[in-house]
Amino acid sequence: MACGCVKSFLGSLSRRKPLEPDGEQSTFNRCLTTLDLVALGVGSTLGAGVYVLSGEVARDTAGPSIILSFGIAALASIFAGLCYAEFGSRVPKTGSAYLYSYVTVGELLAFITGWNLLLSYVIGNVALAWSGTFDDLIGGVISTFFEANAAIGLPGLAPYPDVFAAGLIMILSGILAFGVKESTLINKIFTAINIVVLLFVAIAGFIKGDISNWQISEEALINATAAFKNLSSTANVTSIYGEGGFFPYGIGGTVAGAATCFYAFVGFDCIATTGKRTTSTSKSPVRGDEEPQKSIPLGIVASLLICFVAYFAVSAALTLMMPYYLLNEKSPLPVAFDYIRWGPAKYVVAAGSLCALSTSLLGSMFPMPRVLFAMARDGLLFHFLTKVTAKGSPALATISSGFVAAIMALLFDLEALVEMMSIGTLFAYTLVAICILILRYQPDPSEDSDLKIIETNTKFSLFNPPSTPTSSTSRRVTILTILSVACLVALCVILSQALDALANLEVWSLVLVSILALIVLFNTFLIWRHPQNSSKASFMVPLLPALPLVSTFINVYLMVQLGGETWIRYALWMLVGLVIYFVYGIRYSVQRKRLMGTLPRIETVSGQTDMDVIKEEQF
């Protein structure tokens, strides 16, 4: 009896959502074109990183080689983006990585993925950065007033309640709740202004730049160190700015810079949440899911390429305009224009900065209610979040998520929580890469009867594998994938924690790294020899199974770099989520109800039924 209950419980955790569930219809109005998706991806990605991160990484970590750091980070992001793109073409529905994991690995991991995404979206909003930038432009009036009249003064909280940031979030939440088309119009305008400003920065930098700033001598850095420390002599002074040249902090600094720059590319995944809002760009009739299968992959790849070019050009211009060690960490571009005596231009840069932060804020808020809606519609979160307006916008999910984000911006100092956002995002990226491997080697459910005959009469051989995947080959690939991921995690921990041992060529570390690497390579070969699903998508990840495993390795390596306190805070967040799932979600799961023969009804704020909204979408 007890064994049966445990088996039933474990089965409920691993139940999957069908790719095309019966009875599920879209209540969202299709209104987003491919251009809207590219603008959304660029706007949400090309934000604070280009205006703040470039100065910080160049000054303290990579120097002029920051352009290579952005290149490495872009490559890692493109790996994750390609995995997202295939899922976006196969599963053009609302929910992003949450839905992808639901249809592939099961309900519990899907909930964990969605909960991680909510963490990254809530913390990832840049309202505080927008407020701070605007406050700097007006001479610190806002901060001075609130610090004098409403100081909080409690550890772990902000110095004062940022009413401006909280109000900005609620205003944008209202815009998003009113309608997606209106918000994407604002997003496209701000993104266009941002790109024009960045083009101006790049051109100005190449005109006024000096190649000698990429060739600074160590002697000059020693003199700069002595000046910084107010020393009268350079005797026995060691440079705090590296050793000079293009790689002042060595190749290790460039790679470390790439780990930081990776977060500048976070944001493209918001495109994958728009599957039910994407419309046809042509005048010919297109089947409902046909256009998202093309526009979502195109939007992801195009936005990542545009952002890489922008980061590359601006960071190159910045380090050419002035010595990297003189860069300002918080506002590098205005200081750089002052350095080349183009003072008025800094106001143009400030305007572009506000537009970029606005689009980043909109981009981080846009997918948040849609993930909430998808999880609530599947019964894993509270049902009232599924209500939509007559225009097809998830109003209550939008307002609810905006309210939580506003409270965070109002009261909390988010500096310590930024790394938690990184864990959530990287976990989602990792799971998407793993899901691609599992999904591509699954048998086609429409051929169940034929597969049973094949499975009965065919034995797997490395040198003569079957041409069609079966449940046995799929299960074998899943086991190999799990083993490979476990080895990659162990490998990342060793590479992160035993660097000194590896640098000193200690035998134990070399043996462990070699064994783990060989296991991963052998598993990759074994997975490659298994038959793949014959179903095609408009975009498919190349170099399978190597590329998803490489993406997993990069993501896990970045995750293990985060500190212990960050992991403790992350564990507390996950504890709250798991309590919600085991108390509410596992009981009200739509997949559970579907197996029992009942389907839920989606309500709208206007009182329309599902079929009323569906009929409107057909016109």
Give tens-digit pLDDT for 400-418.
888 888 887 787 765 566 6
Prediction pTM value: 0.76
**Cis amide leading into 545 (omega within 30):** yes
CATH no. for 27-438+557-617: 1.20.1740.10
CB 428 within 8 A of CB 131: no
Residue 318: both structure tokens together: 């910045």
Neighbours of 150 (CB within 10 A): 11
**According to DSSP H, which parts of 322-383 are helical?**
332-339, 345-365, 367-377
What are phi and psi for residue 207, nearest 5 degrees? -75, -45
Give the Cα separation of 257 and 133 in Å (integer): 24
CB 313 within 8 A of CB 198: yes
pLDDT score of 495:
86
Domain ranges of the chain: 27-438+557-617, 446-531
The ranges of the chain with pLDDT < 70 are 1-13, 19-32, 48, 88, 90-96, 123-126, 136, 155-156, 178-184, 263, 267, 269-270, 272-294, 330, 363, 390-392, 413-419, 445-464, 597-619
Neighbours of 239 (CB within 10 A): 19
pLDDT score of 449:
45
pLDDT score of 83:
83
Nearest to 394 by CA among 118, 612, 603: 603
CB 396 within 8 A of CB 80: no
pLDDT score of 79:
84
pLDDT score of 614:
31
- Nearest 5°: the CA angle 401, 352, 198 is 115
